Amino acid sequence: MTQQDIQQTIADFKQAAVNALEAGFDGVELHGANGYLLQQFFSKNANQRTDDYGGSVENRARILFDILDELKSVIDLNRVGVRLNPSLHGIMGILVDDETIALYEYIVDRLNGYGLAYLHLIEPFTDVSQNPQAIPQVAKHFRAIYNGTIIINRGFTKETAMQVLHDGDADLVSFGVPFLANPDLVDRFRTNAPLNQPDQATFYTPGEAGYTDYPTLKQQLHLTENNQ
């Protein structure tokens, strides 16, 4: 990307926020995780730049804060969240390195000054417990740094979600895959009902299969009653 490309991308993020508000959304989340563009800037193995957006920890994080500074003019930052995946390793071309922990600590500490709606963190996708360059317990690590609301994600069950909340390491737990298979996930958690199992063969595919055809608990009970 040229410098002009970067400035255009920052403007695109700003326009995307405007579009989201006009479409009726309550806020926006900046996706700085999972190997997407912002994380490519953060990662030393992906970012080979020698200008103001490469090299040092501060430079590699610069694009995120440039975007946030632009968003201020079109949306209150208390309607903006930021998503980070600090321990992504060996997936989507991203590797942890000797500066990864310092980089994310810098980012998270600096985010304290932005008054965000929340910081959305992701626990490791893979086992990094033996990797000294990675953070094995992301929520616990950054709870000591971030003063605002933390949402944590990645493979939680109702029980493990309740535990991380009880421990105070996060304020909220987000669920993705379980919601795909259980449109009434909250009610199922509330009543300790069994969960539908997701069909991964339908992930990222067109059509309604795997998206709108999972039954709710009420629908399942209705079918059971009709079959009796």
Integer Rg of the chain from CA: 20
Q: Contact 164/152 with Cβ under 8 angstroms?
A: yes
Side-chain-side CA neighbours of 13 within 13 Å: the count stands at 25
Three-class SS string for 115-175? CCCEEEEECCCCCCCCCCCCCCCHHHHHHCCCCCCEEEECCCCHHHHHHHHHCCCCCEECC
First and final CA of the chain: distance in angstroms?
63
Q: And the tokens for 195?
A: 């969960």
Q: Is 36 in the active site?
A: yes
Q: Which member of 36, 53, 106, 114 is catalytic?
A: 36
- Secondary structure class of 218 (helix, strand, coil): helix
* Per-position DSSP letters for 20-66, written without gaps between them: HHHTT-S-EEEEE-TTSHHHHHH-TTT----STTSSSHHHHHHHHHH
Q: Nearest CA to 96 among 105, 87, 83?
A: 87
Amino acid at 123: E
Name the residues annotated as catalytic.
Answer: 36
